[in-house]
Amino acid sequence: MNDKTLIKSRFSANFSTYNDNASVQKKTVEELTKLIPYINYGNILEIGAGTGLLTKKLDYLNAQKLFINDLCENITLNIKPQNLPYEFIIGDAEEIEFPHNLDLIVSANAIQWFDNLKTFFQKSAQALNPKGKLIFSTFITDNYKEITQTFGISLNYKTSDEILDCAKNFFDIKSSKQETITIYFETLKDLLSHIKATGANAVSTTNLTKTKFVEAKNLYEQLRNKNGLPLTYHPAYFVLEKP
């Protein structure tokens, strides 16, 4: 089970540094936006809005209302759509009640933090109108694989097939794709600071001993190439439709 209190704390603490360090997340939002049809919508729900990278894109859709969800209260001070009527829904998306009669549910890079995808898909299907869409990006199996290899710390990332297997009983699968993005750092300190600045260190409260940290650092150095120390992101994108 993911520690939602820790997740909320880490993301809230690094809210101000997120956008300056979220180059990959910005790219995934751009890719995700391309999958969202620009048609007339009734109600839209965004899950895990964060600093509003996707919200800014949704604000240009033709919709009656935008519901904006996140675990952190920070969003109410930092996200201000200009074109659409909107309402904030603060809380864990796995626990809150979704608005009904939705035409679209969207989420950028939040679902990897969920504990029960099957329940989430069922809940989303119940909230959507017939032919309503659930469109999202999430990080999957090989995300931060170097951290897993060297520090032995990892979120329980799913494969694309595992995600689709959870969704298929509630949705028609319209499309899915994945990509690998690798970025590089000169030092391990810079790399770890990058992870912290995007709140993605909300995986464990475990403090490594000095000896274990040195061992992990030496292992990571073995991964260095001409570009520096690698850090892999593994995003996937899904378009699902309620029958």
Q: What is the pLDDT of residues 48-60, one digit of tens each?
A: 999 999 999 999 9
What is the band of 19 on the pLDDT scale with cuts at 50, 70, 90? confident
What is the band of 198 on the pLDDT scale with cuts at 50, 70, 90? confident
Which tokens belong to 29?
């939002």
Task: Give backbone dihedrals phi and psi of 216, rounded to 5 degrees, phi first.
Answer: -65, -40
pLDDT at 201: 56
State pTM to two decimals.
Answer: 0.93
Average pLDDT, integer, range 197-211: 69
- The pLDDT mean for the chain works out to 92
CATH number, domain containing residue 61:
3.40.50.150
User: CB-hemisphere CA count at 13 Å for 167?
Assistant: 25
113 lies in some domain:
yes
3-state SS assignment for residue 231: strand
177 lies in some domain:
yes
Residue 239 has pLDDT above 60, yes or no: yes
* Those residues with Cβ within 8 angstroms of residue 202's Cβ, 6 or more apart along the chain or in another chain: 3, 6, 7, 9, 10, 11, 113
20 lies in some domain:
yes
150 lies in some domain:
no
134 lies in some domain:
yes
pLDDT at 127: 98
pLDDT at 205: 46
User: How many domains does the structure of the chain reveal?
Assistant: 1
